[in-house]
Each structure stands twice: as structure tokens, then as C-alpha cells.
């Protein structure tokens, strides 16, 4: 059966994509291209849909989210269709967050791209911006002989829960999660904002939770937030950490807005205390069956001994299911060409008739090391699969080829060096070391947790700008690992020689059986600087050669392309307030149904304050006090012709005070409806005050056909 002949789903999936949302995006693209929408306002819409600008003008990158890296044959063909029909390139790029990126797509074509992806259950929604990014997971989830539990169903459930979630639409900064099925932590929780690790303690199964790790220009390992959490408590814990980030992380300084900086600011004790306060609230909202029930497994000790290393396997591996194997496919720099996408999909489909009814279908996953894995391959078919893969110009991983790179100056607006090109000169050697190369300090290739990591920098020496790589040694994001040792800077052209020298010294001086990470971490502080100091020298005779990056004929320069794409501080604050108000509205309803009037009134009061503050922020007012009277007075000064906005705020606060004395369900319901109408009116005032704002996704449904007069009439009632 050919790829074109197997049954295909041609209707929009409701699982990840909303049809109306894609229609609205298409309209927004048409408006911005016609000059009818402000470019800055459109940027927020575009990023929400996972469409990122490139360093090349006129084209965009679309980032496809694959929770846990899972991808189907149909989906590979959908990606191939997009590349053939809309991209100027024929390459799909696997990322270290188990996404797939599609580059060089004209803006006018992006609506059609999102619609085509949606036909086969793919979404790019919230793959960019200050949201919950793609959730990574153990590459062997569901098949590993060592796992306590298959975390893939949890990954899917959590990804769905927080997609379009009001709390996550305008976070202070992006939020990254990982899930691992056992203590080995193959998903590398060490550097995540939140990591969930299945554990067994005193005969009971549950989860260990890490928080506030991160890479970037100031890498920091995560702390243990919870040593043991029952499955029923997991979702409240996750939402409590998100609420902590939303409420307390720095919204004014983007470079200090990640969770790791909140931990640094508060200190671990205060950080944990504030988290526990959020947890007290989230516990009241979720039922015990909010997440799918996990099947827990006793770890096979003998099988565990046979697996020499954690993470994605580098060779075919026997699964815990008898007769089935994992087959890894090496993707140089994470690239998959159109014919390879279709060829792999066809091979997987053709394997299906070979399976018995008792065996699961072959699955595919992309991994954090930018490779592809086939799961549930019948062990007797390994040779056939290997030949099929080889015919596509691919192969299983080879010793030394564990080299990962970000796009760098190939496409990225933030790229400083040509990270992909230097990789042609790098190898992990006989020790199969993990080499990780990033084009800037943001570290998308995870150089801070590689055996040898490099990140690009520019240094001006003797008046000449020279491209450099900062080196890092002995990092590992898995259990027992550490952030890499910071090494020296060397010119880009000397980086391959530096890597070779370090590998040679490791082989020469390591202890018997000593891994590279342990060897690197035990060296004296200046060891690597002394070892490589001659390679860092720049003289008049070599400066001309060193001033050119790989693949460049002209001297190196750092382009100013406007930096990363995030909304400004004022816009983010206004949007964040409406987003948090939507979250409080959801909780208000839950507490109302649960007959918890005090908590419901707390939510209603929070909504009024958040929405009032949003209007003042939009009008440029500095809020000096959150006191009710102070807010009311400031609102009156800024309401102008819409005096009812300020008057309604005062009425709401007074009514809530009365309801705390004597609660009445019907009066509260009327209050809630009026508050929702008021929220919509305030949002209109905010968007009129600042044309860049778009908070429509955070607003309650109060009737799209209701006129402003009707809204004001209902508000007065």
C-alpha cells in the first residue's frame, strides 16, 4: 500500500486546533498585509500561533509542537506537503525540545500552512512566546525496561490542559516542562522550569517535582520542590507553579523574567512558601481523576543493568515488550528532507501488515538530540528497517556523530555564529561524547548540559570583531548530572582544534572507567583555560583569517535585527491582567458550583481589581496602591465619558462586601454576569487607548450581538 492510499483524516481536529481560531488568524494576516492592522499588534497574534520571524526578510518559521516528540506517518506527510507547497527550503528541522520547525515560509502562506497541519492533528499554537512551550519527555516512554510508568499519556493530558489556558497566555516569560518515567530522568529535568519524575518510595508510586531550572546566559539547576507527590496531586502542583510564575516573576525586565531568577530573588525558603500558598488554592479546584490513571511497573533490575546509558538509545534496543525493539535514526543536525519524510512514513505504514493483532503499531518520536526513533519494531524486522533507512540516505547513529546545533545565523534573528557549519568539523570521537553548539548564549542547543558545549559570541580585539565560541565541559541534565564547567573563549576557527585537544587529554588522563562528565568536573578551576590558552591567541598574522566565520567570505559582524519577539512591558502587563482575570473567572465558577462562597467572592474581587488595573495600565497610569478607594479614585479620573466603568467598580466592591455578610446565590449570579459585561467594556476601552492591544481571547462570552447600549443597560441592572 502506498502512502497516498492509506486512509487520511481530512477534517479539522478538535483535539489541538480550533477552526474559528485559524479563520481569525487568516483574517489578521490579510489585514496586516493590506495595511489595516498595526504590525506590532499582529506580532502578538502571529507568535501565539507559533509563527516566528527569521533573520531573512519576508519569510517566517513555523514551529510545530509535538508533546513528548510523538509524530505519526500522516503527520510526517503533512509536514512534507507544507514544505513542498509553501517553503523555500525542503528541510524540516527537529529541535532539542522535540518540536519540528519549518523555515522560509512567506507570511501570506502561513494561514494555509496552519490549516494543512491541522488536518492531520498538528498545531503550532503557543510554540513561541511567553507561554507553556512544547513538553518534552523520555524518548523511551512506554517501552523502557527501567520505567516506573509510561509518562506519555500524562504529557498529552497536561499539554491539552494548559493549551489556551487563561493563566498561560501572558506569562512573564516562557515556561518549559519535562516528564520522565524513572529516576534516571532522561528528559533532563535539571534545567526545566518544572520537571516531573516518576519515582517509587516506600512501596508507593508517585512523582518527584523539580522547579526553577534553566539554561541561557545564567544557567541554574532546578531545586527539588516536592520529594513525593501522589498522582492525584500532580495537576494542582503544576498549576500552582504556573500561578507562582505568573504572579511573581519579573514582567519589567525580560532578561530576568524566567523562574530561575524568581528563585534567586526570593531565596529557596520564600519561593517554596509562596508555592505552597498557591497549592492550597489549586488543590480545591481539581478532582482526583483530573489526569489519566497511570499503570505503575516494578523496575526489572536485570534489564536496568543491561542499559549502559540513559537517554535516547544510540543503537537498536530491546523494549520491555517481548519481540519488539526501538530503532534510532540519526538525523544530521536534525534535518529531514521531503523525500525522507515521505519515505519514513511509507516504511512505517508498510510495517503495519507485518504486525500481529497482539502487537502495537509502530510509533515514531523525535528526540532531544535531534534524532528520530521508531518504536514497536518487530525484532525480526530490524535488518529490513535498517536497509530502508539507508536507502533514504540515513542510518543509525554512529560513534562520534552525537553533535547537536541550533540554526544560528542560518535563520535565527538572535544568532551570532554559524553554529550548523562548524559542526562539520566536530566529532564526539571514540568516546561518543555529546557535542552541543549554540549560535548565541541563549543555548537552544543545550551547550550547558553537553559533554562539550559551545555558544557563539563576538569579541572585539585590536579593533577587529572576531567570532568566538565559549566552551563548556562536563554538563548533563539527567539524574546525577551538573551544569557544565565554564571554559575559555576561543576563536570560531580554533574551536575544532580545542575540542580535539580536550578529547585527547580526557583519554590520556582519565581514571579507569571514568566518564567525561566526572573527569571534567573534577579538574582545577583554571585547567581548561591553561590547556587551551594558545588557541585563544589572536595576532596580526592570523586575525584576518580568524575574522571570518565558517561559510563566510566577508569579515564577521553581528547584525542588529531587533532581538527576540516579545511584547513590551506595558502591553504585557495589560494582557496579563486580563488573562489572570479569565483564570479567576474560571475559579469563580468552580467555587460557586462547589458551594464555597468565600472563595468565589475572593475570585470576584480579584477580577475587579485586575480589570481596573488593566485599564489604568493601558492609559499609562502608575498604580501606587491596590487599595479599593485609591483604585476607584484613579478610575474616575481616567474614565472620561465612560464614568459608569468607575461607578461599576465601586458598586461591585460594595456588593461583594454585603455578600460576605449574607451570601445569596441569585445575587452572586447577577453580580458575576454584570462583572463579565463590565470586563468586556473595560477591554474595549483598553484597546481604544492602545491600538496594539488584543485581549479578545481572555474575555468572557457575554453575547457577540449585544450592543454597547445593551451592555451598559445590563450593567446598570
DSSP 196-210: EEEEEETTEEEEEEE
Instruction: Give, as one character, the DSSP assignment of residue 94.
Output: E
Instruction: Tell me how far apart the alpha carbons of residues 308 and 479 are, in angstroms, rounded to a whole number.
Output: 14
Write down the residue that cell numbers 460594595 correspond to.
654
State residue 573's pLDDT score: 82
Q: What is the pLDDT of residues 255-311, one digit of tens each?
A: 899 999 999 999 999 999 999 999 999 999 887 777 888 889 887 655 555 544 557
> Can you list the pairs that 697-701 forms with residues at least 24 positions away whose Cβ atoms lie under 8 Å?
697/48, 697/164, 697/169, 698/166, 698/169, 698/575, 698/578, 698/579, 698/581, 698/582, 699/578, 699/582, 700/582, 700/585, 700/676
* Cell numbers describing residue 579: 488573562
Local structure of 321: helix, strand or coil: coil
By the 8 A CB rule, do 97 and 64 touch? Answer: no
> Can you list the pairs that 639-644 forms with residues at least 24 positions away whose Cβ atoms lie under 8 Å?
642/681, 642/685, 644/681, 644/712, 644/715, 644/716
Cβ neighbours of residue 304 closer than 8 Å, sequence gap 6 or more? 145, 146
- Residues making up the chain, counted from first to last: 717
State residue 299's pLDDT score: 74
Q: Give the start-end residues of each E strand in 192-319.
A: 194-201, 204-211, 223-229, 317-318
Instruction: Tell me how far apart the alpha carbons of residues 278 and 272 are, in angstroms, rounded to a whole number.
Output: 10
Q: Per-residue b/e over 490-501, b at no fewer than 16 CB within 10 Å?
A: bbbbbbbebbeb
Instruction: Tell me how far apart the alpha carbons of residues 273 and 275 are, in angstroms, rounded to a whole number.
Output: 5
pTM, two decimal places: 0.91
Instruction: Tell me how far apart the alpha carbons of residues 35 and 54 are, in angstroms, rounded to a whole number.
Output: 21
Q: Which of 31, 204, 192 is nearest to 97 (CA)?
A: 192
Q: What is the pLDDT of residues 408-466, one digit of tens each?
A: 999 999 999 999 999 999 999 999 999 999 999 999 999 999 999 999 999 999 889 99
Phi and psi, residue 224, nearest 5°: -80, 115
**CA–CA distances in Å: residue 376 to residues 38, 180, 552, 673, 691:** 50, 19, 44, 53, 53
Bridge pairing between strands 223-229 and 204-211: antiparallel
Q: Which of 126, 136, 43, 56 is nearest to 89 (CA)?
A: 56
Phi and psi, residue 136, nearest 5°: -95, 160
How many CB atoms within 10 Å of residue 291? 19
Residue ranges of the chain whose pLDDT lies below 50: 1-14, 307-308, 567-569, 704-707, 709-711, 713
**HEC string for 345-389:** HHHHHHHHHHCCCCCCCCEEEECCCCCEEEEEEEHHHHHHHHHHH
Instruction: Tell me how far apart the alpha carbons of residues 542 and 539 are, in angstroms, rounded to a whole number.
Output: 5
Greatest pairwise CA separation for the chain in angstroms: 86
Beta partners for 286? none
Amino acid at each position: 500500500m502506498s502512502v497516498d492510499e492509506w486512509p487520511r483524516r481530512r477534517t479539522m481536529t478538535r483535539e489541538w486546533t480550533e477552526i474559528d481560531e485559524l479563520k481569525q488568524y487568516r483574517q489578521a494576516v490579510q489585514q496586516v498585509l493590506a495595511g489595516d492592522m498595526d504590525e506590532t499588534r499582529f506580532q502578538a497574534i502571529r507568535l501565539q500561533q507559533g509563527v516566528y520571524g527569521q533573520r531573512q526578510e519576508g519569510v517566517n518559521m513555523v514551529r510545530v509542537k509535538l508533546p513528548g516528540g510523538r509524530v505519526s506517518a500522516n503527520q510526517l506527510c503533512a509536514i512534507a506537503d507544507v514544505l513542498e507547497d509553501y517553503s523555500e527550503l525542503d528541510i524540516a528541522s527537529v529541535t532539542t525540545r522535540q518540536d519540528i520547525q519549518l523555515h522560509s515560509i512567506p507570511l501570506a502562506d502561513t494561514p494555509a500552512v496552519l490549516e494543512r497541519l491541522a488536518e492531520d492533528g498538528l498545531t503550532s499554537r503557543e510554540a513561541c512566546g511567553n507561554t507553556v512551550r512544547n513538553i518534552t519527555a523520555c524518548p523511551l516512554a512506554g517501552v523502557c525496561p527501567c520505567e516506573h510508568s509510561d509518562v506519555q499519556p500524562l504529557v498529552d493530558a497536561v499539554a491539552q490542559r494548559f493549551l489556551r489556558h487563561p493563566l498561560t497566555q501572558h506569562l512573564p516569560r516562557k515556561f518549559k516542562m519535562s516528564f520522565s518515567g524513572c529516576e534516571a530522568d532522561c528528559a533532563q529535568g535539571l534545567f526545566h522550569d518544572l520537571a516531573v519524575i516518576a519515582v517509587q518510595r516506600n512501596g508507593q508510586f508517585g512523582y518527584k517535582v523539580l522547579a526553577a531550572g534553566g539554561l541561557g546566559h545564567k544557567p541554574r539547576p532546578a531545586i527539588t520542590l516536592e520529594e513525593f507527590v501522589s498522582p492525584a496531586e500532580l495537576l494542582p502542583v503544576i498549576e500552582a507553579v504556573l500561578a507562582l510564575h505568573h504572579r511573581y516573576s519579573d514582567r519589567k525586565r525580560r532578561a530576568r523574567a524566567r523562574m530561575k531568577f524568581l528563585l534567586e530573588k526570593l531565596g529557596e525558603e520564600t519561593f517554596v512558601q509562596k508555592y505552597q500558598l498557591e497549592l492550597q488554592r489549586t488543590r480545591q479546584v481539581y478532582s482526583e481523576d483530573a489526569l489519566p490513571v497511570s499503570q505503575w511497573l516494578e523496575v526489572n533490575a536485570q534489564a536496568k543493568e543491561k542499559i549502559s546509558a540513559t537517554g535516547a538509545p544510540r543503537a537498536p534496543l530491546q523494549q520491555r515488550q517481548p519481540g519488539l525493539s526501538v530503532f534510532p535514526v540519526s538525523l544530521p543536525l536534525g534535518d529531514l528532507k521531503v523525500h525522507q519524510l515521505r519515505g519514513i512514513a511509507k516504511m512505517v505504514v508498510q510495517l503495519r501488515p507485518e504486525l500481529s493483532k497482539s502487537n502495537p503499531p509502530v510509533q515514531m518520536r523525535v528526540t532531544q538530540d535531534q534524532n528520530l526513533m521508531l518504536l514497536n519494531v518487530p525484532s525480526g524486522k530490524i535488518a529490513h528497517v535498517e536497509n530502508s533507512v539507508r536507502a533514504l540516505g540515513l542510518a543509525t547513529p554512529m560513534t562520534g556523530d552525537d553533535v547537536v546545533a541550533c540554526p544560528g545565523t542560518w535563520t535565527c534573528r538572535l544568532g551570532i555564529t554559524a553554529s550548523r557549519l562548524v559542526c562539520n568539523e566536530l566529532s564526539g570521537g571514540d568516546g561518543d561524547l555529546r557535542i552541543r553548539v549554540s549560535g548565541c548564549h541563549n543555548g537552544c542547543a543545550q551547550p550547558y548540559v553537553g559533554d562539550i558545549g559551545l555558544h557563539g559570541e563576538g569579541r572585539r580585539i585590536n579593533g577587529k570583531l572576531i567570532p568566538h565560541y565559549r566552551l563548556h565541559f562536563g554538563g548533563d541534565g539527567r539524574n546525577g548530572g551538573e551544569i557544565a564547567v565554564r571554559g575559555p573563549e576561543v576563536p570560531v576557527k580554533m574551536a575544532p582544534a580545542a575540542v580535539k585537544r580536550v578529547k585527547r587529554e580526557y583519554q590520556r588522563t582519565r581514571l579507569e572507567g571514568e566518564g567525561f562528565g566526572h573527569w571534567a568536573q573534577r579538574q582545577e578551576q583554571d585547567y581548561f583555560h591553561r590547556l587551551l590558552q594558545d588557541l585563544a591567541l589572536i595576532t596580526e598574522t592570523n586575525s584576518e583569517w580568524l575574522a571570518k566565520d565558517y561559510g563566510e567570505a566577508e569579515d564577521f559582524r553581528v547584525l542588529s535585527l531587533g532581538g527576540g519577539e516579545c511584547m513590551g512591558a506595558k502591553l504585557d502587563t495589560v494582557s496579563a491582567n486580563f488573562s489572570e482575570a479569565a483564570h479567576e473567572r474560571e475559579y469563580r465558577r468552580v467555587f460557586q458550583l462547589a458551594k464555597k462562597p468565600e472563595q468565589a467572592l475572593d475570585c470576584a474581587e480579584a477580577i475587579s481589581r485586575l480589570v481596573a488595573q488593566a485599564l489604568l495600565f493601558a492609559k499609562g497610569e502608575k498604580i501606587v496602591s491596590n487599595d479599593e478607594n485609591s483604585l476607584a479614585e484613579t478610575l474616575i479620573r481616567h474614565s472620561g465619558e465612560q464614568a459608569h466603568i468607575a461607578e461599576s467598580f465601586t458598586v461591585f466592591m460594595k456588593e461583594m462586601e454585603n455578600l460576605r455578610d449574607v451570601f445569596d446565590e441569585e445575587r452572586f449570579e447577577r453580580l458575576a454576569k454584570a462583572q463579565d459585561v463590565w470586563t468586556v467594556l473595560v477591554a474595549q476601552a483598553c484597546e481604544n487607548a492602545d491600538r496594539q492591544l488584543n485581549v479578545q481571547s481572555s474575555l468572557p462570552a457575554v453575547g457577540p450581538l449585544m450592543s454597547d447600549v445593551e451592555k451598559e443597560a445590563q450593567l446598570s441592572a
